[in-house]
Amino acid sequence: MENKSGHNFHFEIEDRVKANGWKIHSKVNYLDDVESKPREIDFVATQDRDSCNPRGNQVALVVECKYVGHDVKFWVRDNPKNHKAYFFDGYNIDNLFLDESKWHFFRPLKVAVQAEEDYKKASMYEAIMQASKALMFLRQSQQILYTKGLFYPIVVYKGIGKLTDQNGTEMKNILYFHEYPWKDQKTNDVNTRSLYVNIIHESNLEEYLDNVFKKEMDSLMKDIFFQNKMRENNIRERERRNKMNSTK
């Protein structure tokens, strides 16, 4: 945090997330794809789940913390409910998203699509982009989030500034949708990635940790367990039939 009013804010948030059962990776470096310069995200929080494959099952939060000392206006539009904007890896999202109500990105009818603030104080937009870029970089091969799992870019904030929509209605927790043309650092190929970013007031942090991020990963693990059981049952049934046929 650069603003002295929020100087220790990200350490406070780190401690609260850690106390909730997450492993903390503090001040993680990533490479900015536009300027090709190293930058820093406040922290990454992870939880590992049972897995039978070498890449594991992980839920991860890529978190930037901001003290907001000025008002920010968000322009709100219909939620595109873009399935590809969920950062899943290693799972069949077509099956998982048959019931959209289980996934919090698809529940709101409206999402923020643009932040309007004084360009000299554009800390909120900067935080959104930092969380997004850091996640995309850290999901690359050999980086700490190159695993199977579920990944969330997040901005946690507090401060005297108000967040409103374009009509002046005050907002607190915001779902922000954007598309970003990510430049691969190795190949220089540019691929546009859709992203949802959670903007969370610090007073609601634990609610999101328990009732959104953990809950969705638990739901994912239950679906995987069910699918694996069905696969095992099908294999056993085929083996049984083959054995019966061979004895005839």
DSSP states of 20-53 as a string?
Answer: TT-EEEEEEEEE-TTT--EEEEEEEEEEEE--SS
In this prediction the pTM is 0.87
Q: What is the pLDDT at residue 1?
A: 43
pLDDT digits (tens, 9 = 90+) for 157-170: 999 999 999 999 99
Q: How far is the C-alpha of 211 from the C-alpha of 59, rounded, in Å?
A: 14
From residue 223, how far is each of 84, 93, 96, 98, 193 by CA, in Å? 19, 11, 8, 12, 26
pLDDT digits (tens, 9 = 90+) for 23-69: 999 999 999 998 889 999 999 999 988 655 555 688 999 999 999 99
Q: Are 33 and 125 in contact (CB under 8 A)?
A: no
Instruction: Work out the angle at residue 210's Cα, subtended by the Cα atoms of residues 67 and 162, and round it to the nearest 5 degrees.
Output: 25
* Parts of the chain with a pLDDT under 70: 1-7, 50-56, 119-122, 141, 224-245, 247-248
Query: Going along 50-173, which residue ranges are E strands?
Result: 57-67, 72-78, 87-89, 110-116, 148-158, 163-165, 170-171
Q: What is the pLDDT at residue 110?
A: 97
Closest CA relative to residue 155, chosen from 47, 46, 41, 70: 41
Q: What is the pLDDT at residue 228?
A: 59
Q: How far is the C-alpha of 112 from the C-alpha of 101, rounded, in Å?
A: 19
Structural tokens at position 86? 């969920």
220: three-class secondary structure by DSSP: helix
Q: How far is the C-alpha of 237 from the C-alpha of 241, rounded, in Å?
A: 6
Q: How far is the C-alpha of 155 from the C-alpha of 164, rounded, in Å?
A: 16
Q: Are 99 and 81 in contact (CB under 8 A)?
A: no
